[in-house]
Amino acid sequence: QVQLVESGGGLVQAGGSLRLSCAASGINFRINRMGWYRQAPGKQRELVAAITSGGSTNYADSVKGRFTISRDNAKQTVDLQMNSLKPEDTAVYYCVAFLIGRNAWGQGTQVTVSS
């Protein structure tokens, strides 16, 4: 059974930083592309960042230069370091595992950035 458990969300002032972490189990983590999505109220869920098994990354234009995704295959975790946070980064952030034929999702963690 696939489980993705996020942690690290919270309330931060604009310009601050947060680090999200996702612990994965029930998947062959080393070979899976992993990522983070976010969904703000009234908006569609959007891909924030993704990382391949080999460590290649891609980011949404809105977070390039501010967010960094990383993975630890030994610990089966994928992290999202978020710096220079803006109020428009406020959303529920979801960890995702890109599996064959489907995606697996975590329960989400709230990030709120106050101005």
pLDDT for 90:
98
pLDDT for 13:
98
Mean pLDDT of 13-17: 98
**Side chain identity, residue 92:** V
**3-state helix/strand/coil string of 34-88:** EEEEEECCCCCCEEEEEECCCCCEEECCCCCCCEEEEEECCCCEEEEEECCCCHH
**Side chain identity, residue 40:** A
pLDDT for 79:
98
- CA torsion 66-75-28-53 (nearest 10°) is 40
pLDDT for 67:
98
Length of the chain: 115
Average pLDDT, the chain: 96
Going by pLDDT thresholds of 50, 70 and 90, the confidence category of residue 30 is confident
Report the percentage of the chain scoring pLDDT > 90: 93
List, for residues 59-82, the tens digit of each pLDDT value. Answer: 999 999 999 999 999 999 999 999
